[in-house]
């Protein structure tokens, strides 16, 4: 791991300004309240209880993350919570009996196990996640980030958890459409991640940007695939929602907003511009390749 002055996390760096502490803790409280409020859209006490458990799991994981000053627990915690939520709600609703809603739970499980293991391997191989270089030096900001992860998990999986808790009595035709879209989005994400991993495995590509495969159609096809798969899960859940529960369908919209404007695309685009902004080939790539939605032709 590169040691940079701004990355130091000794005792001096851990001191925070009182103003920043108040701001970060206030945001954390707001995020916690928002997490429970969104869970309330489900109209299910079980889903609300699950949201509290997801928050608690994040708080527990935050403790060793802060002690060891590491971000390596972060993505793993989110993955564990996605898996926990899907299994817990299903088991509490149906026990060991079979229900068609099992397919919704399995879709979430397949995605989170694959992505969680991929992200964990990536951060272990890299030694760090550059997004956390300054965040982990601030205990309250780091805590706020863990709370935001819990909010992300709850909102993204909300329609799935709500549908499963309601009970799926019969498969509607639209369910198959959602399943197809989920498989398509999942496939795009996996293929894009694998293409980039193989590209980076070649020593000659150490300081280069990928422009082949799905990356020739979009500058962020992996993120596009993730939004698509959550749209598929939302469509699978649609027939089993009612009333105010339809608001839980914000899941894929929320996922898009966070990925595009907050944690993913925006940050990576800014970093790429700093690194290759003056590169003529990169300028050409940016000009002809959409930032998110792939070009078909």
pTM above 0.75, yes or no: yes
Closest listed residue to residue 213, CA positions, set 221, 204, 224: 221
Q: Which residues contact 127 (CB under 8 A, 6 or more apart)?
A: 1
Cβ-contact 141, 23 below 8 angstroms: no
Number of alpha carbons in the 13 Å side-chain half-sphere of residue 114: 16
pLDDT in tens, 1-60: 333 333 333 444 456 788 889 999 999 999 999 999 999 999 999 999 999 999 999 999
Q: Which residues contact 72 (CB under 8 A, 6 or more apart)?
A: 65, 120, 123, 124, 129
pLDDT in tens, 117-138: 998 888 888 777 777 878 888 8
Residues in the chain: 297
pLDDT in tens, 42-55: 999 999 999 999 99
Place of tokens 């529960």: 245
Average pLDDT of the residues in 82-96: 94
pLDDT in tens, 219-256: 999 999 999 999 999 999 999 999 999 999 999 999 89
pLDDT in tens, 186-211: 999 999 999 999 999 999 998 899 99
Q: Which residues contact 56 (CB under 8 A, 6 or more apart)?
A: none
Q: Which residues contact 40 (CB under 8 A, 6 or more apart)?
A: 48
pLDDT at 167 (0 to 100): 77
pLDDT in tens, 138-149: 899 999 999 999
Cβ-contact 217, 261 below 8 angstroms: no
């Amino acid at each position: 791991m590169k040691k940079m002055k701004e990355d130091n996390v000794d005792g001096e760096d851990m001191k925070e300004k009182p103003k920043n502490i108040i701001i970060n803790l206030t945001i954390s409280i707001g995020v916690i309240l928002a997490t429970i409020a969104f869970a309330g859209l489900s109209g299910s006490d079980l889903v609300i209880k699950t949201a509290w458990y997801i928050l608690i799991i994040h708080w527990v994981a935050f403790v060793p993350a802060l002690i060891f000053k590491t971000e390596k627990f972060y993505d793993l915690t989110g993955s564990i919570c996605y898996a926990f939520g899907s299994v817990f709600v299903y088991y509490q609703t149906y026990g060991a009996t079979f229900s068609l809603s099992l397919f919704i739970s399995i879709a979430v499980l397949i995605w989170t196990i694959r992505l969680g293991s991929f992200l964990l391997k990536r951060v272990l191989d890299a030694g760090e996640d550059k997004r956390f270089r300054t965040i982990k030096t601030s205990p309250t900001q780091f805590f706020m980030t863990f709370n935001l992860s819990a909010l992300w998990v709850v909102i993204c999986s909300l329609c799935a958890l709500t549908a499963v808790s309601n009970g799926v009595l019969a498969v509607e035709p639209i369910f198959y459409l959602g399943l197809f879209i989920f498989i398509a989005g999942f496939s795009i994400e996996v293929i894009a991640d694998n293409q980039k991993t193989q590209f980076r495995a070649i020593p000659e590509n150490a300081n280069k940007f990928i422009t082949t495969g799905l990356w020739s159609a979009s500058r962020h096809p992996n993120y596009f695939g993730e939004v698509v798969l959550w749209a598929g899960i939302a469509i699978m859940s649609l027939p089993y929602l009612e009333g105010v529960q339809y608001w839980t369908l914000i899941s894929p919209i929320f996922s898009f907003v966070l990925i595009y404007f907050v944690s993913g695309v925006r940050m990576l685009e800014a970093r790429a511009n700093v690194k290759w902004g003056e590169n003529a080939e990169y300028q050409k790539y940016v000009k002809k390749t959409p930032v998110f939605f792939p070009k078909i032709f």
